[in-house]
């Protein structure tokens, strides 16, 4: 059924990178992707027990930085199942959510250790410490947080890995079930052949400071340990030469055409972007790529190269139409700039995913209506409609705690599509009002005749039928009446 396949199934990017990093340090690694393999927590625990590893690392990341917290529901269930099945198994948890809330994670979850940073050195240090002993000296393991007889110990964080090409040259694809991964539905509009699929990073981090974003949560401690100015976000690169080697493997070994460049901000550094595009063009690959960009980072000379390299989709965080709402969350550009950038991208033949957020702190019903109208006016090939969430690790989470705003009772409540999702209230609206407007906006956009006409002209009748089937599914909401 379409309702069971609308979502993408994405390879675990961070688990694959950690596997490579550990291999580079001489350790053997196995990756078990329970989501892709459709395993229950109990089945996952059975397979882990059969493998009998020195260390189990549960990686709580998702398709985007904000998905780490909502994935804690599954991560928690897996950790519990492993400990129930094999209590002596050593379990480490890491990820964006874990780095944001290390002490709470250690207190609430059935794990032995967590990391307060990106976790790469923590994994290899712990593996080395566990070699030949079940009772290692934990004090020297970088970034580790663990229980002691008197409380909780916080080891100094490890510095960020700076030589990405040398220490972490890509994802351990041979350890992943590559036939199981599926692209987003819109990524393949026009042919809807969504497999095979892969997501990769070409950079880590983001230099911007949007208050609703938690992407830097696992990097901040490592930035400080590296001696960086804590007011500046790190932004690290794999070289274009290393990136094309990874694309070579995907295209030639696994037949992957649909690729997501998972960088939080890929279209930023012209030298990096154009270097990768040039190498793809040289190879002559027929790829279908999507990547993130900002309204104010797309330069005219990039667009032709992006299109020729197979970047057929760019996702823009447009967020809101009202400039006061945008400025309040440190998203500073003029709305007329949005129209100009979208015009240029469309003229280059690149499809657009417009991302919008309802319920930012200064939002009112009027400003949310302006945002919906902006989305309808731009008429992008796809749109994502979100509600504002105070994700752990974001400045908005700190603000929510300070202001006493109600937050979800369970981590699943941070999922945009969950039954128990609970967005933030604004200074003018309740959480229920925000959620109802978001769901109204979704249906208004995807049933709009102008939008469906665009889709029919660009992608054909089958894609129109697909969208109509998509909008026939209504989300159940526990808090929409609040």
CATH number at residue 453: 3.80.30.20
- Tokens representing 282 are 């040289």
Structural domain contains residue 98:
yes
Angle (nearest 5°) at CA 408 between 424 and 186: 70
Residues 329, 466 share a domain: yes
Residues 458, 342 share a domain: yes
HSE-CB for 201 with a 13 A CA cutoff: 27
Pair 406, 434: CB distance under 8 Å: no
* Residue 147, H or E segment: strand 144-147
**Cα–Cα distance for residue pair 33/30, rounded to 1 Å:** 10
Structural domain contains residue 159:
no
Angle (nearest 5°) at CA 75 between 136 and 357: 130
DSSP conformation class of 424: P
Q: Specify whether the backbone of 7 is left (phi greater than 0), alpha (psi in -120 to 50) or beta.
A: beta
What is the domain extent for residue 443?
182-202+238-388+423-471
Residue 102 has a CB neighbour count (10 Å cut-off) of 24
Residues 451, 326 share a domain: yes
* Residue 357, H or E segment: strand 351-358
Structural domain contains residue 290:
yes
Structurally, the chain folds into a number of domains equal to 2
Structural domain contains residue 454:
yes
DSSP notation for 455-470: HHHHH-HHHHHHHHHH
**Cα–Cα distance for residue pair 321/140, rounded to 1 Å:** 50
Residues 144, 107 share a domain: yes
Q: How far is CA 19 from CA 198, 200, 368, 430, in A?
A: 16, 14, 43, 44
Residues 248, 383 share a domain: yes
Pair 199, 13: CB distance under 8 Å: yes
Residues 373, 431 share a domain: yes
Residues 147, 88 share a domain: yes
Q: Output the pTM of the full model.
A: 0.94
Pair 290, 194: CB distance under 8 Å: no
**Cα–Cα distance for residue pair 244/440, rounded to 1 Å:** 42
Pair 235, 293: CB distance under 8 Å: no
Pair 61, 13: CB distance under 8 Å: yes
* Residue 203, H or E segment: strand 203-205
Q: Which residue(s) pair with 93 in the sheet?
A: 58, 114
Mean pLDDT of successive 10-residue segments in the chain (482 residues)? Answer: 70 97 97 96 97 96 82 96 97 95 96 96 95 83 94 95 96 98 94 91 91 87 90 94 98 98 94 98 97 91 96 95 86 85 97 96 96 98 96 92 93 93 94 96 98 97 94 86 62
């Amino acid at each position: 059924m379409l309702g069971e396949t609308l979502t993408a199934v994405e390879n675990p990017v961070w688990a694959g990178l950690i596997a490579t990093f550990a291999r580079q340090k001489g350790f053997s690694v196995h990756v078990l992707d329970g989501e892709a393999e459709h395993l229950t927590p109990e089945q996952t625990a059975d397979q882990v027990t059969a493998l009998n590893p020195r260390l189990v690392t549960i990686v709580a990341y998702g398709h985007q930085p904000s998905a780490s917290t909502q994935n804690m529901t599954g991560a928690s269930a897996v950790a519990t199942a492993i400990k129930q099945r094999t209590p002596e198994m050593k379990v480490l948890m890491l990820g964006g959510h874990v780095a944001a809330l290390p002490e709470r994670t250690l207190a609430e979850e059935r794990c032995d250790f967590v990391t307060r940073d990106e976790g790469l050195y923590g994994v290899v240090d712990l593996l080395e410490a566990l070699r030949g002993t079940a009772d290692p000296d934990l004090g020297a393991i970088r970034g580790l947080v663990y229980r002691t007889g008197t409380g909780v110990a916080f080891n100094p964080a490890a510095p960020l890995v700076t030589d990405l090409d040398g220490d972490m040259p890509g994802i351990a694809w041979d350890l992943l079930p590559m036939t199981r991964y599926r692209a987003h539905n819109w990524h393949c509009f026009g042919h809807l052949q969504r497999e095979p699929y892969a997501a990769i990073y070409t950079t880590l981090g983001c230099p911007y400071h949007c208050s609703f974003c938690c992407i830097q949560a696992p990097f901040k401690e490592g930035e400080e340990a590296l001696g960086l100015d804590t007011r500046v976000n790190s932004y690290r690169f794999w070289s274009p030469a290393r990136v094309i080697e990874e694309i070579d493997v995907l295209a030639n070994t696994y037949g992957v055409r649909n690729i997501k460049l998972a960088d939080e901000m890929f279209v930023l550094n012209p030298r990096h972007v154009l270097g990768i595009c040039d190498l793809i063009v040289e190879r002559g690959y027929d790829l279908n790529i999507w990547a993130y960009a900002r309204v104010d980072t797309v330069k005219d000379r990039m667009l032709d190269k992006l299109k020729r390299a197979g970047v057929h989709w760019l996702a823009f965080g447009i967020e809101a139409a009202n400039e006061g709402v945008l400025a309040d969350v440190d998203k500073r550009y003029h709305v007329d700039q949005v129209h100009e950038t979208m015009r240029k991208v469309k003229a280059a033949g690149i499809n657009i995913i417009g991302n919008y957020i309802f319920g930012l702190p200064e939002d009112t019903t009027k400003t949310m209506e302006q945002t919906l109208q902006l989305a309808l006016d731009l008429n992008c090939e796809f749109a994502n409609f979100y509600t504002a969430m105070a994700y752990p690790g974001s400045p908005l989470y700190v603000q929510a705690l300070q202001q006493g705003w109600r937050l979800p009772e369970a981590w699943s409540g941070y999922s945009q599509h969950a039954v128990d999702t609970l967005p933030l209230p604004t200074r003018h609206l309740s959480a229920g009002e925000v959620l109802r407007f978001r769901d109204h906006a979704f249906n208004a956009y995807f049933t709009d005749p102008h939008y469906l006409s665009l889709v029919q002209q660009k992608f054909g009748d089958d894609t129109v039928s697909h969208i109509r089937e998509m909008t026939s599914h209504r989300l159940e909401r526990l808090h929409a009446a609040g």
